[in-house]
Amino acid sequence: MTTAQGRDLWLLDIARGTTSRFSLGLLSYAMVWSPDSNWLTFMASRAGVTGLYQKPSNGAGQDELLLSATDAEPTDRSQDGRFLLYQRNDPKTKWDLWVLPLFGDRKAKPFLQSEFDESQGQFSPDGRWVAYASDESGRPEVYVQPFPGPGPKIQISTAGGVQPKWRRDGKELFYRVDGTGKLMTVEVKADGQFQAGVPQVLSLETTVTTHGMQSGDHYAVSADGKRVFSIKASQESAAAPITVVVNWTAGLKK
């Protein structure tokens, strides 16, 4: 939410229907929860230092700087809480996926870095795989690669895909078709060798669509995969009807 102070993060209590300001500053966005819900990691600019910060989700305490970097956006945190996955824009290699260990010397290193865009990385629940979007085929598609690697990549989507998300048990992947409201689902097996099924259309309902691979998430999946929460385009936000007037010059003569 943009305020007079800048762009802030807010928390919505769904049960109570209340909102509260979580961050206050010049810039805050791209928020990621820790697995235990006790911490939030986000991109921010504080006292002239832009980078990745974390803060207790109850709002207490100060923002802790994890990494000083521009154009770095957190995308996910592993279920054991040990690794932070983030995307970073490089003039030479475009968008890349990086990993920041949250233990030891906390030295970040690239996970996927090529001449193509790689973004929107998501850890599998067991931490052995990363789903992400890449445009190496000429359009955004969803892929999976082993973590920490190395290993072969497996293409998940077949007709374009962005914003991958795992079901809590790791047996299903969801993604959206870029530029449309289509939500897709794919059954996967990760016992030993990774296997992916045929993508199925889960929903054709119109949602707020994004174009490109760096747009923020517009949907969430429940732990059991039976419910999907998405930002829906309301009737009020729809474009107003266009009135076409023909032979308008004749009216000027009256």
**What pLDDT, on the 0 to 100 scale, is given for residue 86?**
96
How many other CB atoms are found less than 10 A from the CB of residue 146?
A: 16
Number of domains forming the structure of the chain? 1
**What pLDDT, on the 0 to 100 scale, is given for residue 233?**
56
Q: Please report whether residue 14 resides in a domain.
A: no
Question: Which CATH number goes with the domain that contains 232?
Answer: 2.120.10.30
Domain residue limits at 127: 71-253
Q: Please report whether residue 48 resides in a domain.
A: no
Task: Please give the single-letter amino acid code of residue 23.
Answer: S
Q: Please report whether residue 131 resides in a domain.
A: yes
Q: Please report whether residue 190 resides in a domain.
A: yes
Q: Please report whether residue 47 resides in a domain.
A: no
Rounded to whole angstroms, the Cα distance separating 173 from 191 reads 15
Q: Please report whether residue 225 resides in a domain.
A: yes
Q: Please report whether residue 39 resides in a domain.
A: no
Q: Please report whether residue 36 resides in a domain.
A: no
This prediction's pTM: 0.81
Distances (CA, A) of 223 to 66, 116, 168: 28, 32, 5
Task: Give, for all 254 residues of the chain, the pLDDT tens digit.
Answer: 444 344 667 777 777 877 777 766 556 667 898 999 888 999 888 778 889 999 998 878 888 999 998 889 999 999 999 999 999 999 899 999 999 999 999 999 999 999 999 999 999 999 999 999 999 999 999 999 999 988 889 999 999 999 999 999 999 999 998 777 689 999 999 877 899 999 999 876 555 555 455 555 667 787 777 777 776 655 544 444 443 444 434 544 44
Q: Which residues pair with 27 in a beta bridge?
A: 45
Residue 153's contacts (CB-CB under 8 Å, 6 or more residues apart) are 143, 144, 145
